[in-house]
Amino acid sequence: MANTKKVALITGANKGLGFEMARQLGNEGVTIVLAARDPQRGEAAAEKLRGEGVDAQFLKLDVTKPEDYTAAASFLEKKFGRLDILINNAGIPGGGLGEGKPSITTPEVIHDVFETNFLAPVELTRVLLPLLKKSEAGRIVNMSSILGSQTLHSDPGSPIYDFKSLAYDASKAALNSFTIHLAYELKDTKIKVNSAHPGWVKTDMGTDAAPMEIPEGGKTGVALALLGEDGPSGSFIHLGNVLPW
């Protein structure tokens, strides 16, 4: 029998926001392909979701290894014949505040951060796009950050003006540009592409200083993954509100 449930692939989903979005989407009846680079942790996370009644399975996917992209596409093609939701969630910080000044940010740090936060989502999406085109309503969610907003970073009155880290911020700005360009390319299809700012969330990256709990942080990505036909495409969203690029 053909699988009639929506199928979602989420990268970096063994913990934090990725795991929470997997849980929330699973609770909405979506089949979850939980992608992570560590098989032991990834399978443990999928098992935990299954214990909560979520239809979840683990897929080894290291976003820094392009060979894993083609393996993922082959798995999805054979198992489901399509992909309905892609959430590009995996990301790295590349140094904290005070460590990301342009004068001390090395080319190696910029390369590593862009490889994970920008180049990987672009290439993974390219490889999986044929499967997304087989969906009745494909959704691509790029997990960005308000720190990728060029408008807010250049405004002395904005809340993020004093929070700058070159490699991370630039990688998210580039990811936002990818969202805009891909949404334009797909504007005459049923696929919607959006960037999500989850908020400052209590994750490993966000630290315990963050004001938002993980379940709240997962809401924006989940909402964009489940957008209806009348939903936006090519937008930068946080909890239903549009953010400036």
Active site residues: 168, 172
Between CA 34 and CA 118, with CA 56 as vertex, the angle to 5 degrees is 15
Nearest to 141 by CA among 208, 69, 191: 191
Nearest to 175 by CA among 203, 206, 147: 147
Q: How far apart are CA 118 and CA 93, in angstroms?
A: 12
- For residue 205, CA distances in Å to 11, 142, 214 come to 16, 17, 12
Residue 90: how many CA atoms within 13 Å on its side-chain side?
30
- For residue 170, CA distances in Å to 94, 164, 196 come to 11, 10, 16
Task: List the end-to-end C-alpha distance of the chain, in Å, as a whole number.
Answer: 44
